[in-house]
Homo-oligomer: A and B are copies of this chain.
Amino acid sequence: MKLLQDRIIKEGTILPGDIVKVDSFLNHQIDPILLRELGKELTIRFANQGVTMILTIEASGIAIALMTGLELNVPVVFAKKVKSSNISSTFYSTTVYSYTKNIEYGIYVSKDYLSKNDRVLIIDDFLATGHAVLGLINIVRQSYAGLVGVGIAIEKGFQGGGKLLREQGIRVESLANIKALQNGQIIFNN
């Protein structure tokens, strides 16, 4: 998606550890108009698939998931990273390894909002090594819901998560796919 690629090239910065920082429009400051366009594009790509709900993970995934849910007219559920007193007592859970933070954390989804009758579209801001999405897929499997696919704003193709998922037969649509980071340049796949 050229709109997103152009924005990444204009405002993205590369940090040590192959981190692509896009805090100016996605991960800290959010551009609502851009996010709506991303949601519209993901809706086009997953149209007519009978999606009943969107599953994402707090916090950075919420914005793009919400905009996609708005277009698809389905509810959005965000997996929580802290099991607070506010959450339902029955939930699906698994652990996720964070590559950028080098920690493992639990994620939780109430059984009230995900069941075997659902057809789930997983949405997230980034796909790198794939740990977060694999955690969400694990939760979808626990619920016996159908998995329609995975929609991503920015895939870092060179970190292998997308390849791993596609090899499992999972449909992954990323709006920008970074092939490599070379000499401070961001090179896209398409």
| A-to-B contact residues, CB < 8 Å | 15, 17, 19, 21, 23-25, 27-33, 35-36, 58-59, 62-63, 66-67, 69-70, 73-78, 80, 82, 84-88, 100-101, 109-110, 112-113
**How far, in whole Å, are A33 and B66 apart by their CA atoms in the complex?**
10
List residues of chain B with CB within 8 A of the CB of A63: 62-63, 66, 76
Would you call A87 and B32 a contact (CB within 8 A)?
A: no
Would you call B87 and A100 a contact (CB within 8 A)?
A: no
Instruction: Name the one of B29, B36, B66 contacting A77, with C-beta atoms under 8 angstroms.
Output: B29
Distance to closest chain B CB from A189 (angstroms): 23
Would you call B112 and A30 a contact (CB within 8 A)?
A: no
Would you call A66 and B30 a contact (CB within 8 A)?
A: yes
Distance to closest chain B CB from A77 (angstroms): 5
**How far, in whole Å, are A74 and B76 apart by their CA atoms in the complex?**
23
Would you call B23 and A75 a contact (CB within 8 A)?
A: no
List residues of chain B with CB within 8 A of the CB of A15: 85-86
Instruction: Name the one of B24, B85, B109 contacting A100, with C-beta atoms under 8 angstroms.
Output: B85
Instruction: Name the one of B33, B70, B85, B110 contacting A32, with C-beta atoms under 8 angstroms.
Output: B70
List residues of chain B with CB within 8 A of the CB of A100: 84-86
List residues of chain B with CB within 8 A of the CB of A86: 15, 19, 21, 23, 27-28, 100
List residues of chain B with CB within 8 A of the CB of A109: 28
List residues of chain B with CB within 8 A of the CB of A23: 86-88, 110, 112-113
Would you call B101 and A85 a contact (CB within 8 A)?
A: yes
Given contacts A21-B86, A63-B66, is CB(A113)–CB(B58) below 8 Å? Answer: no
